[in-house]
């Protein structure tokens, strides 16, 4: 069974930084794209950033230039470095990793940015 464990969320002032991590464990034969989503209260879950197996990245327009996604295939871990945080970045952040030809989700980690 595959599990994803997230860490790194918390409370930060506007302009601050946080780094999220998401590590996979279990019986893993193949890994594909890794991504981060977020869901703010009353809003739909949205894609924040994605990184392919080849290292290509894609970002939501709202986070371009502020957030950086990266991955460590040996550790089966995806990271999200978030800089210049804004109150509108407040949300629960979820990682998603394609493992063994299916999608797995993390449990979610709260990020709160105070003004």
Model confidence pLDDT, tens digit, residues 51-66:
999 999 999 999 999 9
Q: How far apart are CA 65 and CA 63, in angstroms?
A: 6
Q: How many CB atoms lie within 10 A of CB 113?
A: 19
- At 74-103, the pLDDT tens digits run 999 999 999 999 999 999 999 999 999 999
């Amino acid at each position: 069974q595959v599990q994803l464990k997230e860490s790194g969320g918390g409370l930060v002032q506007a302009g601050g930084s946080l780094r999220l991590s998401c590590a996979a464990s279990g019986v893993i034969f193949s890994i594909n794209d890794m991504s981060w989503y977020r869901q703010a209260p009353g809003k739909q879950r949205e894609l924040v950033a994605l990184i392919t197996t080849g290292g290509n990245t894609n970002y939501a327009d709202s986070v371009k230039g502020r957030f950086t996604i990266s991955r460590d295939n040996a550790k089966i871990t995806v990271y999200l470095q978030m800089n210049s945080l804004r109150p509108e970045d407040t949300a629960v952040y979820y990682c998603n990793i394609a493992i063994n030809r299916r999608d797995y989700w993390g449990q979610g980690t709260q990020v709160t940015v105070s003004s």
